[in-house]
DNA sequence: AAAATGATTGAAACTGGTTTCAATATTTGC
DNA sequence: GCAAATATTGAAACCAGTTTCAATCATTTT
């Protein structure tokens, strides 16, 4: 490794001067500056970030916590964040928790140890009380997931509204027996809670009672969707429509439904959530709730970068709009 | 930040001793060791990785270079690598090049500056001559992409064989007019070159001449697939089957074909590459060439970790098998 | 022309750990 | 019971940068 001292020696100056050139300090004579630059060029010198970081001078890494990168929702989110970061010279560290609490905490330690200068969390496994202490070490921004606090910036969509307009759309199409797939049912606050309320509110407004056996929790993947469809087929009183918590679940549902000879949307209407690429490619095209993923990621990245520059802009909640995309599955 | 000195003071020992405890050195009296551990616990101390790295003692980060994380092929690859790394205590840095040469080089600099201890490249934008010098700073493993060298470890599938069996399958189904979508046509060596040769060889063996207007280059996405289908529709002499370079292209092809009223596979047979989740969910189910993505990632991770431990195991090429998955689109 | 101001520069201290080296304490061998 | 070997410990040097402080030099003010 070539160090700042090698450069200093070659340029015939002290390492202090080299450091000043690296950091664009004023008051360096043009000729020395040029000598230093030439020496750096000649030696192919790159400053050692560990050393700079140690002195508290460097901030170039942001971390994004996701449950699973293979979930397209999160890969698109990461994509957007990474692009914002890169434009400002930041590297993006991807932290996949696999929904493991300990893994999440181990990633939060990146903040404490200055390996990451800020963190964007797109999911939360631990209680906020566990996570909150880490805000002391650097900014944390929530994106997608949200909690019942006002002192942390959040970028979210109106999940309540998303489910509400989706279920309402099904009701308007004449459905009264509407099943519902969700991640979790019994959360205190946050995404799943709001979605559940949207579902219930839409039913309630139409005077439809909730049928608990049509509510299916802990569903996320295509495989989950297939299994749910099998469950539904075995029911005596079958729903005529399903609100799926993600386009992937919807895809699995659709596959299994078609395999069982059901026509979509005539025998069974399906609506998804997210508007991922898969939604368009399914046959029939999947009606779904579009989340502005790229904008969410972009906004989250921008907020985090802003917090890294000015210490404390007032943390705010940014709520982006969801949108019903009607295709052929409803 | 609490430092090693705070711990030393509280435990009533020197920082040397604390360091020894952290690193599990032998020859520390049990009582002092316990005092130190207690002090560390009490202060919530975490060693500063920048400082450890600076002294050349720490290796905890591997970087994965991908063109686009939103491409499921790469997100599954990253997923597999990340899991192997995490189990050995490594963090995974995701580097998205967006097919930008400069961005790729900027990520290779992570090695030079010891921000990453090793790199797995799943794509290559620059010439190897540009990249090769970086191997001086740490191990580089190629996974998926490959080059004409023997001194760098590569994990690859037999791309030639993949295309060959796919095209042969189409021929066996009676097709003689077979279009072909690919990333690049005129590469010197590597993935695309081998795929092209598999295509040509299969045609040649069946005595079918190559029709250049049926070869479509620089195709990657669903949108590309749709556009290709439009091109094909406008042709006077239309192919009866298409070999797509990825399942996503195939998905786009299928969408557009169905929209144009073609029946699949009767009017047009389609075969994909990868066997991503989308392949299964398409209707009709997509016949495709399965790549063992998870195994590739796992192997690449293991090789890299091995190289980080023993300096120089003989670099080898690992070729994993591809497999034809026949569904209903052919 | 002397004093005051500001630009330019480098020596040394500092960041938070690890490693070397030497000193001291303890155990083992005979 | 004494020499040799081994265990335990800390002071100081080191990693590669940044920052503080003071010294020198040039320029402007009075």
Domain B159-290 has CATH 3.50.50.60: no
Measure CB to CB from residue B96 to each of A82, A98, A252 and give the nearest one.
A82
Subunit contact B76:A53, Cβ cutoff 8 A: no
Q: Is B51 helix (H, G, I), strand (E, B) or coil?
A: helix
Q: Which residues of B touch A57 (CB under 8 A)?
A: none
The alpha helices in chain A, defined as continuous H runs, are 4-11, 15-22, 30-43, 49-54, 72-87, 101-112, 128-131, 159-172, 191-205, 222-234, 247-259, 277-281, 293-309
Q: What's residue A325's pLDDT? A: 97
**B56, B65, B115: which to substitute to probe chain A, counting the most A Cβ within 10 Å?**
B115
Q: Which residues pair with A320 in a beta bridge?
A: A157
Q: Nearest C-alpha of chain B: how many angstroms from A75? A: 5
Subunit contact B49:A282, Cβ cutoff 8 A: no
* CA dist., res. B28 & res. B13, Å (int): 11
Range in A66-75, A318-327, B103-112 the model is least confident about: B103-112
The alpha helices in B173-238, defined as continuous H runs, are 191-205, 222-234
Distance CA B93 to C1' D19 in A:
31
Q: Where are the domains of chain B?
A: 4-54, 61-157+293-321, 159-290
* Rounded (10°) CA dihedral B37, B41, B47, B48: -160
Average pLDDT, 10 consecutive residues per value, chain B (330 residues): 91 92 88 92 90 81 93 95 90 88 88 86 93 89 90 94 97 96 76 92 96 92 95 95 96 96 96 95 96 97 88 79 96
Distance CA A31 to C1' D28 in A:
24
Distance CA B132 to C1' C5 in A:
54
Subunit contact B50:A47, Cβ cutoff 8 A: no
**Buried b or exposed e, range A274-310, using 16+ CB within 10 angstroms:** bbbbbbbbbbbebbbbbbbbeebbbbbbbbbbebbee
A55 CB neighbours strand D below 7 A: yes
* CA dist., res. A283 & res. A264, Å (int): 9
Closest CA to A257 of A277, A278, A286: A286
Q: How far is CA A234 from the centre of its chain?
A: 35
Give burial (CB, 10 Å; 0-12/13-18/19+) of A187.
middle
User: What residue is closest to C20 (Cα–C1')?
Assistant: B16
* CA dist., res. B175 & res. B186, Å (int): 26
- The secondary structure of B244-308 as a DSSP string is -SSHHHHHHHHHHHHHTT--TTTT-EEEEEE--HHHHHSSSPPEEEEP-HHHHHHHHHHHHHHHH
Q: Which residues of B touch A91 (CB under 8 A)?
A: 93, 95, 110, 115
User: With contact defined as beta carbons under 8 Å apart, do A88 and A118 qualify?
Assistant: no
Q: What's residue A312's pLDDT? A: 62
* CA dist., res. A255 & res. B146, Å (int): 36
* CA dist., res. B198 & res. B163, Å (int): 5
Q: Does residue A148 or residue A256 have the better pLDDT?
A: A256
Closest CA to B81 of B69, B101, B63: B63
Q: What's residue B25's pLDDT? A: 87
Angle between helices B293-309 and B72-87 (to 10 degrees): 40
Give burial (CB, 10 Å; 0-12/13-18/19+) of A136.
exposed
B270 CB neighbours strand D below 7 A: no
Q: Nearest C-alpha of chain A: how many angstroms from B153? A: 24
CATH architecture of the domain with range B61-157+293-321: 3-Layer(aba) Sandwich (3.40)
User: With contact defined as beta carbons under 8 Å apart, do B58 and B114 qualify?
Assistant: no
Nucleotides of C under 7 A from a protein CB: 7-12, 14-20
Q: Nearest C-alpha of chain B: how many angstroms from A223? A: 10
* Class of domain A4-54 (CATH, top level): mainly alpha
Evaluate whether B4-54 and B159-290 have a shared fold: no
Distance CA A26 to C1' D30 in A:
29
pLDDT tens-digit map of A29-63: 889 999 999 999 999 999 998 899 888 767 788 99
A57 CB neighbours strand D below 7 A: yes
User: What residue is closest to C9 (Cα–C1')?
Assistant: A17
**A3, A40, A49: which to substitute to probe chain B, counting the most B Cβ within 10 Å?**
A49
Q: Is B22 helix (H, G, I), strand (E, B) or coil?
A: helix
Q: Nearest C-alpha of chain B: how many angstroms from A235? A: 24
- The secondary structure of A143-169 as a DSSP string is ES---S-SSS-EEEE-HHHHHHHHHHH
Q: What's residue B56's pLDDT? A: 75
Q: Nearest C-alpha of chain B: how many angstroms from A86? A: 9
For B278, nearest residue in chain A (alpha carbons) = A278
Subunit contact B79:A86, Cβ cutoff 8 A: no
Distance CA B310 to C1' D4 in A:
37
- Identify the sign of the CA torsion A270, A271, A276, A280: positive
Q: What's residue B312's pLDDT? A: 62
pLDDT tens-digit map of A192-213: 889 999 999 999 999 999 999 9
Distance CA B55 to C1' D14 in A:
8
Distance CA B64 to C1' D19 in A:
35
* CA dist., res. B276 & res. A100, Å (int): 25
Measure CB to CB from residue B69 to each of A53, A79, A258 and give the nearest one.
A79
Q: Is the pLDDT of residue A137 over 90?
A: no
* Peptide bond preceding B120 in cis form (omega within 30 of 0): no
**CB-based contacts with strand C under 7 Å?**
A 12-17, 20, 26-29, 32-33, 51, 54-56; B 1, 3-5, 15-16, 18-20, 22-23, 45-48, 51-52, 54-57
Measure CB to CB from residue A46 to each of B46, B70, B113 and give the nearest one.
B113
Q: Nearest C-alpha of chain B: how many angstroms from A177? A: 25
For A221, nearest residue in chain B (alpha carbons) = B277
pLDDT tens-digit map of A149-164: 888 999 999 999 999 9
Subunit contact B69:A49, Cβ cutoff 8 A: no
For B223, nearest residue in chain A (alpha carbons) = A277
**A59, A70, A263: which to substitute to probe chain B, counting the most B Cβ within 10 Å?**
A70
**A40, A67, A79: which to substitute to probe chain B, counting the most B Cβ within 10 Å?**
A79
Contacts of A312 (CB under 8 A, 6+ apart): none
> How is residue A311 written in tokens?
């210490």
Strands B323-325 and A269-274 come out as unpaired
Contacts of B31 (CB under 8 A, 6+ apart): none
For B283, nearest residue in chain A (alpha carbons) = A283
**Buried b or exposed e, range B254-273, using 16+ CB within 10 angstroms:** bbbbbeeebebbeebbbbbb
Distance CA A25 to C1' D19 in A:
12
Nucleotides of D under 7 A from a protein CB: 7-12, 14-20
Distance CA A60 to C1' C14 in A:
22
Closest CA to B66 of B117, B107, B102, B110: B107
Q: What's residue B214's pLDDT? A: 95
B57 CB neighbours strand D below 7 A: no
A52 CB neighbours strand D below 7 A: yes
Q: What's residue A186's pLDDT? A: 66
| Owner of token pair 């606090």 | A149
**Over chain A, what is the mean pLDDT?**
92
């Amino acid at each position: 490794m070539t160090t700042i001292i090698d450069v200093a020696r070659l340029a015939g100056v002290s390492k202090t001067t080299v450091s000043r050139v690296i950091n664009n300090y004023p008051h360096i004579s043009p000729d020395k500056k040029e000598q230093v630059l030439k020496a750096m060029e000649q030696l192919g010198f790159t400053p050692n970030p560990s050393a700079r970081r140690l002195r508290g001078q460097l901030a170039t890494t942001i971390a994004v916590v996701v449950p699973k990168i293979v979930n397209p929702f999160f890969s698109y989110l990461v994509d957007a964040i990474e692009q914002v970061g890169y434009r400002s010279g930041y590297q993006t560290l991807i932290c996949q928790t696999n929904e493991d609490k300990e893994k999440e905490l181990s990633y939060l330690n990146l903040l404490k140890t200055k390996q990451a200068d800020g963190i964007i969390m797109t999911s939360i496994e631990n209680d906020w009380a566990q996570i909150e202490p880490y805000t002391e070490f650097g900014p944390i921004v929530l994106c997608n997931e949200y909690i019942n606090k006002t002192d942390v910036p959040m970028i979210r969509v109106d999940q309540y509204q998303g489910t509400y307009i989706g279920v309402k759309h099904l009701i308007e199409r004449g459905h009264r027996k509407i099943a519902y797939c969700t991640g979790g049912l019994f959360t205190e606050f946050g995404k799943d809670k709001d979605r559940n309320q949207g579902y219930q509110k839409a039913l309630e407004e139409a005077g439809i009672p909730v049928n608990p056996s049509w509510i299916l929790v802990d569903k996320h993947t295509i495989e989950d969707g297939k299994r749910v469809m099998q469950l539904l087929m075995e029911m005596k009183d079958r729903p005529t429509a399903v609100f799926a918590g993600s386009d992937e679940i919807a895809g699995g549902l659709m596959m299994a439904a078609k395999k069982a000879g059901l026509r979509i949307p005539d025998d069974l209407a399906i609506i998804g959530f997210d508007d991922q690429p898969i939604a368009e490619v399914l046959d029939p095209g999947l009606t779904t709730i579009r989340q502005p993923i790229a904008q969410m990621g972009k906004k989250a990245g921008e907020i985090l970068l802003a917090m890294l520059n000015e210490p404390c802009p007032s943390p705010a909640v940014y709520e982006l709009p969801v949108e019903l995309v009607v295709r052929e599955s409803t």
